[in-house]
A and B are shown apart, each in its own frame.
Chain A
Amino acid sequence: MNIRNLKPIFNYFFAITLLLSCNGHEQKEKTITFWSSNASQEILFTAYFADKWNENHSEKLESQPIPEGQSSEEVIMAAVVGRTTPDIYANMWQGLVEMYAKSGVLVPLDTIEGFTDFIMARSGEAVVKEITSADGHIYQIPWKINPFMTIYNEKKIAQLGLDVVPTTYSAYLKAGKDFSKDTDGDGYVDKWIGDTEVKNIWHQRLNNFYPLYLAASNGAPLIKDNKAVFNNEYAVGVFNFLQTIYREGYFAKESNTVGSDKFLAGHTATKWTGAWDVSYLERYKEDDFEYNIAHLPVPDDHRGVVYTYADPKNIVLFNTCKNPALAWEFIKTMIDEAGDLKFLELSGQIPRRQKIKENEVFQVFLRENPKIIPFIDQSNYVYGTDNCEVLIEVLDIISQEYESCVIHNKKTPAKAIADASRAVDILLGNF
C-alpha cells in the first residue's frame, strides 16, 4: 500500500479535527462556569445576565444549560463523581444538597462576607432556617420555587357545567366520570380528566404523589428523625384517590413520552404542574385555548389552607470553583430585585423572595401576567423536601409501590403504603 493512497484518509482526519477545534470551548479566558437548567426560558435568562456581566468584567463567565440527561439529578451526580462540575449550578434540587454537603463537594456560602444578611433580607428567616444544613452551615442559595397546582382547560371544564375545576377528591372523581369518555366511538377512551406521568422513576413521584400528600396532610414530612412517618390516612388517601382514577380510566396509563402533549391538544382537561407551565402554555398553545389555576385536589373533609410541594431549586457553588466570592458577586446580580423581576418575566417561575405581591418593583409584571398570581399566593403554603440523605431511594421505594398499587391495581392502598413504609425503615436501618 503506497503512502500516496493514504492521503485522502489524512485529509479526512485533518478536516474533522479542524472542524472540531473550530467550535470547541474557548475555555482559556473564562474563569467561572455556570450551568442553568434545561428549560429554554432559563437558558435565555442566564445568557442575559452572563452577557451583562461579561461586558463589565475582565473575569469572564461562561453559561450553558446542564447537559441533557434523563434527569438533572443524574447528570449532576455524574459530574460530581467525574469531577467535571461547573463552578455554579443553578438548578439544584433541595433534596440532594444535604448529601452533597456531607460529601464535602459544596462551598459553605455563609463564610462569604455579606451572604447571610442578603439571603435573610430576600427570603426571610423561615426559609433560611429551612436551608441551613445539619452542621450549621448554609450550602445553597434558595432561588426559585414552582408550587404544584391544578391547571385546567376552562372550556373543557365548562362543558361539565362547572365554573372552576373541582378541588375535592369526590368532586374531582365525579368530573372524571363525566368527562373521560370515548368521543370517536372506537371503543376506547380518548378524553381524560387529567394526566400525570406513569413512568416508574423516583422523581416522577414529585409530580403527583408528593404534592397531593402535602396537600392532604397540610405539609407533613415523609421522614422524621430518621424514621418513615408517611404510613397515615393522608398517604393512603392519595393512593386510593389515584388508584380510583386509573381503575376507572379517568387518566391515561400511557407515558407522556409517547405522542404529543395531551393537555395542549385538548385530550385532557387538567394537569398538576408548577408555575413554569404558564410560560410553556403561552408559548405553545393555540390562540383560543383558555386555562385557569386552582389548588390541588384534597380529601373531602379537608379543613384550612391547602399546602403543596414547592419544588425548590437552588443555586450551589461546587468546590471546583476557584473564586467563590466572585461567583457570589455574579449570583447577586441574578437574584436582587431587578434580577428576580427579569426571572419572572422570562421564565414565569417564582423567586423565593418574601412579599412579592406587596413589592412596588413587581406590580407592573403582576398586572400584565395575572395567571402567575395564584402561584405566588400558593407560595406562602408550600413545603420543600425532608432533610434525608437517601431521599432518592425513599422516593424510589414509594414509586415502586405507587406503580403496583395506583396504576396496576395490584395491592390495596393501605397495604402498599404499609409495605413502602416498612421498606423505607429497613433502608434507614431501623430494623
Chain B
Amino acid sequence: MQVRPKKKRSILPYLLVSPYMLFFLVFVAFPVLFSFFLTFHKWNIISPMEYSGMDNYTRMFNDRLFWKSLRNTLWFLVIHIPLQIIFALGLAVFLNSKIKFKGLFRSVFFLPVIVSGVVVTIMWQQLYGFNGGVINQLLNSIGLGRVGWLTNPAMSMPSIAIMATWKNVGLYIILFLVGLQAVPEHYYEAAEIDGASSWQKLWYITIPAINPTIFMVIILSTIGGFSLFIEPYVMTGGGPLNSSLSSVLYIYKQAFEFYHMGYAATLGFAFAFIILIIIVIQKKYIEKKY
C-alpha cells in the first residue's frame, strides 16, 4: 500500500542513497580501475608516469619477497586459526559451565579485544624480549631455557600468531557462547542417557551446532591474517630474515619506503585475488562437510 504521491517516489530514494553512490564512485570504483591501470605503469608520484607493460607482473612472479610474504601469511594462518578455535572454544565451554565469577572472567578475556593493537604490540614486544623479556625470564627460571621469540626466524610468525590469538580470543569466546547457548539442553540429556562421554558430546553435538561460528572464525582470521601490519611493523620490521614480512607490510614498504606505486598496486591486486580465492575454497569445503 503506497500512500506517497508518484513524483516524490521517483526522486527521494535516489537522494537518500546518493551519499553511498558518491562514496562508491570515489573510493571503490575509481580506485579499483585506477589500481588496475597502475599495475601497467612505473610511477613514484613526483616524476611523470611511465608505461611499463607487464614488467610489474613479471617482477612479482620473480620476487622472492612477494612469495616469502605470502608464505609468511599462510604460515600465520596455519598456526593462528587452530589456536584461535581451540582456545576460544575451550574457554567458551568453561564459561558455559556452572562456575563462579562468570561475568568477571568474560570481561577479563574481552579486555585485549577492545584495546588498540598498537598497545598490545608494544607490550608484547617487550614481554617477548630475548635477553630481558619477562617470558624468557620465566622459562629460564623453571629450567626450560630461552626462546628467540622475535629473534629466531622460525619463531617470529608463531610469536605474532600467539599474540593475535591472545588479542582476539575474547571476541570469539563470546561468539561461541552465543552458539553454545542455542544448543537445546535436551540434546545433551538424551546423549547422557545413551551413555555418551564428554568428548563424544563435544564432537557430535556441540561442534556441529556451532559449526557456522567456527566457519566465521576461520573467515575473520583469514582476513585478519592478510591485514597484519602494525604487529610486524612495530615488533620486527618484517624480520628476522623477512620471516615476519606480512603482505600488507610488504605493500607498505614498496609504496612508502621506495615509492614504487605501480608495483605496490600490483601486489595489492595479487593479494586481494588470493584472499578471495582462499575464502571461496574455505566456504566450499566447510559447507560440503556439514
Contact = CB atoms under 8 A, between A and B. Distances in A.
B153 A408 contact: yes
B129 interface: yes
B241 A252 contact: no
Interface string B246-276: 0000000000111100000000000000000
Interface in A234-267: 252-255, 257-259
A103 B46 CA distance: 7
A74 interface: yes
Contact of A259 (B46, B129, B237): B129
B258 A392 contact: yes
B239 interface: yes
B238 A200 contact: yes
B129 A80 contact: no
Interface in A96-144: 103, 105
Among B44, B46, B130, the one with the most A-chain Cβ atoms within 10 Å of its Cβ is B46
A200 B256 contact: no
Interface in A200-237: 200-202
A277 B129 CA distance: 25
B59 to A, nearest CB: 11
B52 interface: no
B140 A186 contact: yes
B126 A258 contact: yes
Nearest to A69: B256
B256 A252 contact: no
B119 to A, nearest CB: 16
A74 B257 contact: yes
A400 B65 CA distance: 10
Interface stretch (B10-18, B104-112, B143-151, B172-180): B143-151
B163 to A, nearest CB: 14
B133 interface: yes
Task: Find the residue from B131, B238, B241 having the highest chain A CB count within 10 A.
Answer: B131
A200 B237 contact: yes
A81 B132 contact: no
A59 interface: no
A200 B236 CA distance: 9
B46 A258 contact: no
Nearest to B137: A186
A197 to B, nearest CB: 10
A407 interface: yes
B241 A403 contact: yes
Contact of B236 (A80, A255, A396): A255
B72 interface: no
A80 B256 CA distance: 12
Contacts of B257: 74, 202, 392
Interface in A30-89: 74, 77-78, 80-81
A188 B131 contact: yes
B212 interface: no
A315 interface: no
Contacts of A345: none
B240 A258 contact: no
B224 to A, nearest CB: 23
Given A403-B241, A408-B153, 8 more contacts: A74-B256, A74-B257, A103-B47, A105-B46, A186-B140, A255-B150, A255-B236, A392-B257
Interface of B: 44-47, 125-126, 128-133, 140, 145-146, 148, 150-151, 153, 236-242, 256-259
